[in-house]
Structure 1
Amino acid sequence: MSQALHTTDWAAWSREAAETMVARNAEWPQQMGLTAPLKCRWDLERALLAFEAPLHEVIATVCLVGTSSDQEGSFVWSWANEAIPAQHGQALEVVHDFGRENQLALLTTPRLQGGKPVGMECLSIAARLQRAVGTYVDQQGDVALYFTILHLQVAVPETDQLPN
Protein backbone atom coordinates (compact mmCIF):
# COMPACT_ATOMS: atom_id res chain seq x y z
CA MET A 1 0.00 0.00 0.00
CA SER A 2 1.09 3.50 -0.67
CA GLN A 3 1.82 5.97 2.11
CA ALA A 4 -1.08 8.16 0.92
CA LEU A 5 -3.63 5.52 1.94
CA HIS A 6 -2.38 5.58 5.52
CA THR A 7 -2.65 9.36 5.80
CA THR A 8 -6.09 9.83 4.22
CA ASP A 9 -8.53 11.85 6.32
CA TRP A 10 -11.49 9.47 5.91
CA ALA A 11 -13.97 11.84 7.58
CA ALA A 12 -13.11 14.57 5.04
CA TRP A 13 -13.18 11.99 2.21
CA SER A 14 -16.67 10.89 3.31
CA ARG A 15 -17.92 14.52 3.60
CA GLU A 16 -16.61 15.18 0.08
CA ALA A 17 -18.53 12.12 -1.18
CA ALA A 18 -21.72 13.46 0.44
CA GLU A 19 -21.20 16.95 -1.02
CA THR A 20 -20.64 15.47 -4.48
CA MET A 21 -23.91 13.52 -4.25
CA VAL A 22 -25.86 16.57 -3.08
CA ALA A 23 -24.58 18.44 -6.15
CA ARG A 24 -25.30 15.56 -8.55
CA ASN A 25 -28.77 15.03 -7.06
CA ALA A 26 -29.55 18.67 -7.79
CA GLU A 27 -28.56 18.15 -11.45
CA TRP A 28 -29.88 14.83 -12.75
CA PRO A 29 -33.63 15.30 -12.11
CA GLN A 30 -33.54 18.69 -13.84
CA GLN A 31 -31.52 17.33 -16.77
CA MET A 32 -34.05 14.52 -17.22
CA GLY A 33 -37.11 16.80 -17.02
CA LEU A 34 -38.28 15.48 -13.65
CA THR A 35 -40.10 17.65 -11.15
CA ALA A 36 -40.21 17.43 -7.36
CA PRO A 37 -41.44 15.51 -5.56
CA LEU A 38 -40.01 12.60 -7.54
CA LYS A 39 -42.44 9.74 -8.08
CA CYS A 40 -40.97 6.35 -8.81
CA ARG A 41 -41.55 2.62 -9.05
CA TRP A 42 -38.75 0.10 -8.58
CA ASP A 43 -37.93 -3.42 -9.70
CA LEU A 44 -35.17 -4.96 -7.58
CA GLU A 45 -34.81 -8.07 -9.78
CA ARG A 46 -34.08 -5.96 -12.85
CA ALA A 47 -32.22 -3.25 -10.84
CA LEU A 48 -34.39 -0.50 -12.31
CA LEU A 49 -36.23 2.59 -11.09
CA ALA A 50 -38.87 4.28 -13.25
CA PHE A 51 -39.39 7.98 -12.54
CA GLU A 52 -42.51 9.77 -13.78
CA ALA A 53 -42.04 13.09 -15.55
CA PRO A 54 -44.91 15.24 -16.87
CA LEU A 55 -44.47 14.02 -20.48
CA HIS A 56 -42.32 10.89 -20.20
CA GLU A 57 -40.73 8.30 -17.94
CA VAL A 58 -37.07 8.11 -17.00
CA ILE A 59 -35.55 4.68 -16.44
CA ALA A 60 -32.60 4.39 -14.06
CA THR A 61 -30.26 1.43 -13.77
CA VAL A 62 -29.53 1.24 -10.06
CA CYS A 63 -27.78 -0.58 -7.26
CA LEU A 64 -29.63 -1.04 -3.98
CA VAL A 65 -26.82 -0.20 -1.57
CA GLY A 66 -28.71 -1.19 1.55
CA THR A 67 -31.67 -0.60 3.81
CA SER A 68 -32.24 1.01 7.17
CA SER A 69 -34.95 0.45 9.72
CA ASP A 70 -36.24 3.36 11.79
CA GLN A 71 -37.43 0.94 14.47
CA GLU A 72 -34.12 -0.95 14.75
CA GLY A 73 -31.94 2.13 14.13
CA SER A 74 -29.70 0.06 11.87
CA PHE A 75 -28.36 -0.02 8.30
CA VAL A 76 -27.76 -3.33 6.47
CA TRP A 77 -25.62 -3.55 3.32
CA SER A 78 -27.31 -5.33 0.39
CA TRP A 79 -24.47 -7.83 0.15
CA ALA A 80 -25.38 -8.96 3.69
CA ASN A 81 -29.14 -9.21 3.12
CA GLU A 82 -30.36 -12.51 1.61
CA ALA A 83 -33.72 -10.91 0.72
CA ILE A 84 -32.05 -8.61 -1.84
CA PRO A 85 -31.18 -9.98 -5.30
CA ALA A 86 -27.49 -10.93 -5.60
CA GLN A 87 -26.68 -8.53 -8.46
CA HIS A 88 -26.90 -5.59 -6.04
CA GLY A 89 -24.25 -7.12 -3.78
CA GLN A 90 -22.12 -7.84 -6.85
CA ALA A 91 -22.37 -4.19 -7.91
CA LEU A 92 -21.15 -3.26 -4.42
CA GLU A 93 -17.95 -5.35 -4.65
CA VAL A 94 -15.96 -2.20 -5.49
CA VAL A 95 -17.15 -0.70 -2.17
CA HIS A 96 -16.57 -3.85 -0.14
CA ASP A 97 -13.07 -4.30 -1.67
CA PHE A 98 -12.21 -0.65 -0.96
CA GLY A 99 -13.27 -1.13 2.66
CA ARG A 100 -11.14 -4.25 3.05
CA GLU A 101 -8.10 -2.65 1.38
CA ASN A 102 -8.31 0.44 3.59
CA GLN A 103 -9.49 -1.30 6.76
CA LEU A 104 -12.71 0.73 6.91
CA ALA A 105 -15.19 -1.11 9.13
CA LEU A 106 -18.04 1.10 7.87
CA LEU A 107 -17.72 -0.58 4.46
CA THR A 108 -17.15 -4.15 5.65
CA THR A 109 -19.53 -4.58 8.61
CA PRO A 110 -22.81 -6.18 7.43
CA ARG A 111 -25.14 -4.41 9.92
CA LEU A 112 -24.32 -1.00 11.37
CA GLN A 113 -26.03 0.98 14.11
CA GLY A 114 -27.10 4.52 13.27
CA GLY A 115 -30.07 4.13 10.92
CA LYS A 116 -30.61 6.84 8.30
CA PRO A 117 -27.51 8.98 8.98
CA VAL A 118 -25.26 5.91 8.54
CA GLY A 119 -27.32 4.83 5.53
CA MET A 120 -26.81 8.21 3.89
CA GLU A 121 -23.05 8.12 4.54
CA CYS A 122 -22.75 4.58 3.12
CA LEU A 123 -24.87 5.61 0.12
CA SER A 124 -22.63 8.62 -0.62
CA ILE A 125 -19.47 6.53 -0.32
CA ALA A 126 -20.90 3.79 -2.56
CA ALA A 127 -21.95 6.42 -5.12
CA ARG A 128 -18.46 7.92 -5.13
CA LEU A 129 -16.76 4.55 -5.59
CA GLN A 130 -19.26 3.42 -8.26
CA ARG A 131 -19.00 6.79 -10.05
CA ALA A 132 -22.79 7.06 -9.83
CA VAL A 133 -24.87 9.69 -11.64
CA GLY A 134 -26.74 10.31 -8.39
CA THR A 135 -28.66 8.66 -5.57
CA TYR A 136 -32.26 8.09 -4.55
CA VAL A 137 -33.77 7.11 -1.20
CA ASP A 138 -37.25 5.59 -1.01
CA GLN A 139 -39.14 5.19 2.27
CA GLN A 140 -41.44 2.16 2.56
CA GLY A 141 -43.02 2.25 6.01
CA ASP A 142 -40.28 1.58 8.57
CA VAL A 143 -37.66 0.76 5.91
CA ALA A 144 -35.60 3.18 3.82
CA LEU A 145 -34.01 1.85 0.60
CA TYR A 146 -30.77 3.52 -0.56
CA PHE A 147 -30.13 3.41 -4.32
CA THR A 148 -27.14 4.55 -6.37
CA ILE A 149 -28.13 5.60 -9.89
CA LEU A 150 -25.67 4.17 -12.37
CA HIS A 151 -27.35 5.17 -15.66
CA LEU A 152 -30.36 7.24 -16.75
CA GLN A 153 -32.36 7.31 -19.98
CA VAL A 154 -35.71 8.58 -21.18
CA ALA A 155 -38.05 5.63 -21.75
CA VAL A 156 -39.07 5.10 -25.36
CA PRO A 157 -42.80 4.32 -25.57
CA GLU A 158 -43.85 1.01 -27.12
CA THR A 159 -45.13 1.60 -30.67
CA ASP A 160 -48.52 0.05 -29.78
CA GLN A 161 -48.92 2.73 -27.10
CA LEU A 162 -48.75 5.57 -29.63
CA PRO A 163 -52.13 7.12 -30.53
CA ASN A 164 -51.78 6.86 -34.35
Structure 2
Amino acid sequence: MGEGEMEPNWYSAWRDEAIEQLESKNSRLEKEFRIGHWSRYDLKNGSLLFSQDGATKVITGIQLAGSTNAKAQNWLWAWANLNLPDSLLRDARLVRSFGEKNNIRELTQPYVIDAENELEVLGWELTAVMVRICDALGAYRSPQGEGGALFYVLKSVNWAG
Protein backbone atom coordinates (compact mmCIF):
# COMPACT_ATOMS: atom_id res chain seq x y z
CA MET A 1 0.00 0.00 0.00
CA GLY A 2 1.34 3.42 -0.94
CA GLU A 3 1.22 6.60 1.12
CA GLY A 4 -2.24 7.59 2.22
CA GLU A 5 -3.84 4.50 0.73
CA MET A 6 -5.71 2.84 3.51
CA GLU A 7 -8.29 0.19 2.91
CA PRO A 8 -11.46 0.72 4.95
CA ASN A 9 -11.02 -0.44 8.53
CA TRP A 10 -13.82 -3.01 8.28
CA TYR A 11 -12.21 -4.82 5.36
CA SER A 12 -9.69 -6.99 7.18
CA ALA A 13 -12.28 -8.61 9.49
CA TRP A 14 -14.79 -8.84 6.62
CA ARG A 15 -12.15 -10.64 4.52
CA ASP A 16 -11.39 -13.06 7.39
CA GLU A 17 -15.11 -13.84 7.62
CA ALA A 18 -15.21 -14.42 3.87
CA ILE A 19 -12.42 -16.99 4.24
CA GLU A 20 -14.28 -18.81 7.03
CA GLN A 21 -17.48 -18.77 4.99
CA LEU A 22 -15.68 -20.28 2.00
CA GLU A 23 -14.18 -23.02 4.15
CA SER A 24 -17.58 -24.07 5.40
CA LYS A 25 -19.17 -23.78 1.94
CA ASN A 26 -16.41 -25.91 0.44
CA SER A 27 -16.62 -28.55 3.13
CA ARG A 28 -20.34 -28.81 2.47
CA LEU A 29 -19.69 -29.27 -1.27
CA GLU A 30 -17.09 -31.86 -0.36
CA LYS A 31 -19.57 -33.84 1.73
CA GLU A 32 -22.49 -33.49 -0.63
CA PHE A 33 -20.85 -33.70 -4.06
CA ARG A 34 -17.33 -35.02 -3.34
CA ILE A 35 -15.87 -31.99 -5.13
CA GLY A 36 -12.15 -32.50 -5.15
CA HIS A 37 -12.34 -36.31 -5.35
CA TRP A 38 -13.26 -36.92 -8.98
CA SER A 39 -10.51 -38.18 -11.19
CA ARG A 40 -10.89 -35.51 -13.84
CA TYR A 41 -12.59 -32.28 -14.69
CA ASP A 42 -13.25 -30.48 -17.99
CA LEU A 43 -14.24 -26.93 -18.74
CA LYS A 44 -17.11 -26.78 -21.24
CA ASN A 45 -19.38 -23.84 -22.04
CA GLY A 46 -18.98 -22.14 -18.71
CA SER A 47 -19.34 -25.32 -16.70
CA LEU A 48 -16.85 -27.50 -14.89
CA LEU A 49 -17.70 -31.14 -15.40
CA PHE A 50 -16.31 -33.59 -12.86
CA SER A 51 -16.08 -37.16 -14.01
CA GLN A 52 -14.96 -40.62 -12.98
CA ASP A 53 -14.15 -43.46 -15.38
CA GLY A 54 -15.42 -41.50 -18.37
CA ALA A 55 -18.80 -40.68 -16.83
CA THR A 56 -19.72 -37.13 -15.84
CA LYS A 57 -20.81 -37.10 -12.19
CA VAL A 58 -21.16 -33.46 -11.16
CA ILE A 59 -21.79 -30.32 -13.20
CA THR A 60 -20.98 -26.88 -11.83
CA GLY A 61 -21.73 -23.48 -13.32
CA ILE A 62 -18.70 -21.26 -12.82
CA GLN A 63 -17.17 -17.84 -12.96
CA LEU A 64 -13.42 -17.29 -12.98
CA ALA A 65 -11.78 -15.58 -10.02
CA GLY A 66 -8.14 -15.43 -11.05
CA SER A 67 -4.87 -17.28 -11.27
CA THR A 68 -1.64 -17.61 -9.35
CA ASN A 69 1.79 -17.59 -10.97
CA ALA A 70 4.64 -19.07 -8.95
CA LYS A 71 7.36 -17.60 -11.13
CA ALA A 72 6.02 -14.06 -10.75
CA GLN A 73 4.80 -14.76 -7.19
CA ASN A 74 1.52 -13.01 -7.87
CA TRP A 75 -2.20 -13.29 -8.40
CA LEU A 76 -3.85 -12.02 -11.59
CA TRP A 77 -7.55 -11.16 -11.34
CA ALA A 78 -9.66 -12.83 -14.03
CA TRP A 79 -11.11 -9.45 -15.06
CA ALA A 80 -7.60 -8.34 -16.06
CA ASN A 81 -6.74 -11.49 -18.01
CA LEU A 82 -7.38 -10.95 -21.72
CA ASN A 83 -7.16 -14.67 -22.51
CA LEU A 84 -10.32 -15.57 -20.63
CA PRO A 85 -13.85 -15.76 -22.09
CA ASP A 86 -15.89 -12.68 -21.32
CA SER A 87 -18.94 -14.63 -20.15
CA LEU A 88 -16.94 -16.08 -17.25
CA LEU A 89 -15.78 -12.69 -15.95
CA ARG A 90 -19.02 -11.08 -14.81
CA ASP A 91 -18.49 -11.87 -11.13
CA ALA A 92 -14.83 -10.86 -11.20
CA ARG A 93 -15.93 -7.47 -12.55
CA LEU A 94 -18.38 -7.16 -9.66
CA VAL A 95 -15.44 -7.66 -7.32
CA ARG A 96 -13.53 -4.88 -9.04
CA SER A 97 -16.54 -2.52 -8.73
CA PHE A 98 -16.89 -3.43 -5.06
CA GLY A 99 -13.20 -2.60 -4.63
CA GLU A 100 -13.57 0.71 -6.44
CA LYS A 101 -16.62 1.70 -4.42
CA ASN A 102 -14.94 0.85 -1.11
CA ASN A 103 -11.40 1.86 -2.00
CA ILE A 104 -9.92 -1.63 -1.56
CA ARG A 105 -6.78 -1.70 -3.60
CA GLU A 106 -6.21 -5.46 -3.80
CA LEU A 107 -9.55 -5.80 -5.60
CA THR A 108 -8.90 -3.06 -8.16
CA GLN A 109 -5.34 -3.69 -9.30
CA PRO A 110 -4.81 -6.42 -11.91
CA TYR A 111 -1.96 -8.07 -10.02
CA VAL A 112 -1.75 -8.72 -6.31
CA ILE A 113 1.77 -9.45 -5.12
CA ASP A 114 2.25 -12.18 -2.59
CA ALA A 115 4.11 -10.48 0.26
CA GLU A 116 4.23 -13.51 2.55
CA ASN A 117 5.35 -16.10 0.03
CA GLU A 118 2.12 -18.00 0.53
CA LEU A 119 0.77 -17.81 -2.98
CA GLU A 120 -1.69 -20.65 -2.52
CA VAL A 121 -3.13 -18.96 0.56
CA LEU A 122 -3.40 -15.63 -1.25
CA GLY A 123 -5.29 -17.31 -4.11
CA TRP A 124 -7.81 -18.87 -1.73
CA GLU A 125 -8.20 -15.63 0.23
CA LEU A 126 -8.97 -13.49 -2.81
CA THR A 127 -11.27 -16.18 -4.19
CA ALA A 128 -13.07 -16.21 -0.82
CA VAL A 129 -13.62 -12.46 -1.10
CA MET A 130 -15.18 -13.02 -4.53
CA VAL A 131 -17.38 -15.87 -3.25
CA ARG A 132 -18.69 -13.56 -0.54
CA ILE A 133 -19.28 -10.55 -2.79
CA CYS A 134 -21.04 -12.65 -5.42
CA ASP A 135 -22.80 -14.97 -2.98
CA ALA A 136 -21.45 -18.08 -4.68
CA LEU A 137 -21.74 -21.67 -3.44
CA GLY A 138 -18.04 -22.34 -3.13
CA ALA A 139 -14.79 -22.40 -5.06
CA TYR A 140 -12.45 -24.80 -6.81
CA ARG A 141 -8.78 -24.58 -7.65
CA SER A 142 -7.30 -26.37 -10.61
CA PRO A 143 -3.58 -26.89 -11.02
CA GLN A 144 -2.17 -25.34 -14.19
CA GLY A 145 1.26 -26.87 -13.93
CA GLU A 146 4.45 -24.81 -13.66
CA GLY A 147 3.50 -23.69 -10.18
CA GLY A 148 0.34 -21.89 -11.18
CA ALA A 149 -3.32 -22.48 -10.51
CA LEU A 150 -6.67 -21.24 -11.75
CA PHE A 151 -9.36 -20.44 -9.19
CA TYR A 152 -13.04 -20.91 -10.06
CA VAL A 153 -16.10 -19.69 -8.21
CA LEU A 154 -18.99 -22.18 -8.23
CA LYS A 155 -22.38 -20.69 -8.99
CA SER A 156 -24.37 -23.90 -9.26
CA VAL A 157 -23.61 -27.51 -8.41
CA ASN A 158 -25.70 -30.46 -9.56
CA TRP A 159 -25.38 -34.18 -9.98
CA ALA A 160 -25.22 -35.15 -13.65
CA GLY A 161 -28.21 -36.98 -15.06
Q: Work out whether residues 92 and 126 of structure 1, in 8 Å CA contact, stay in contact via their aligned partners in 2.
A: yes
Q: 5 Å matches for 1:1-164? A: 8-32=9-33, 34=34, 37-43=37-43, 46-52=45-51, 57-114=57-114, 115-142=119-146, 143-156=148-161
State which structure, 1 or 2, has the greater radius of gyration over its C-alpha atoms: 1
Q: Give 2:143's aligned amino acid.
A: Q
Shift of 1:14: 0.5
User: CA–CA distance in 1 between the matches of 2:52 and 2:155?
Assistant: 19
Q: Which sections of structure 1, spanning at least 5 residues, go unmatched?
A: 1-5, 157-164
Q: Work out whether residues 79 and 88 of structure 1, in 8 Å CA contact, stay in contact via their aligned partners in 2.
A: no
Q: Which sections of structure 2, spanning at least 5 residues, go unmatched?
A: 1-6
**TM-score when normalising by structure 1:** 0.82
Shift of 1:8: 4.6
Aligned residue pairs total 149
User: CA–CA distance in 2 between the matches of 1:37 and 1:137?
Assistant: 12
Shift of 1:48: 1.1
Taking only the aligned residue pairs, the percentage that are identical comes to 23
**TM-score when normalising by structure 2:** 0.83
Q: Work out whether residues 35 and 53 of structure 1, in 8 Å CA contact, stay in contact via their aligned partners in 2.
A: no
Of structures 1 and 2, the one with the larger relative CO (CA 8 A, separation 6+) is 2
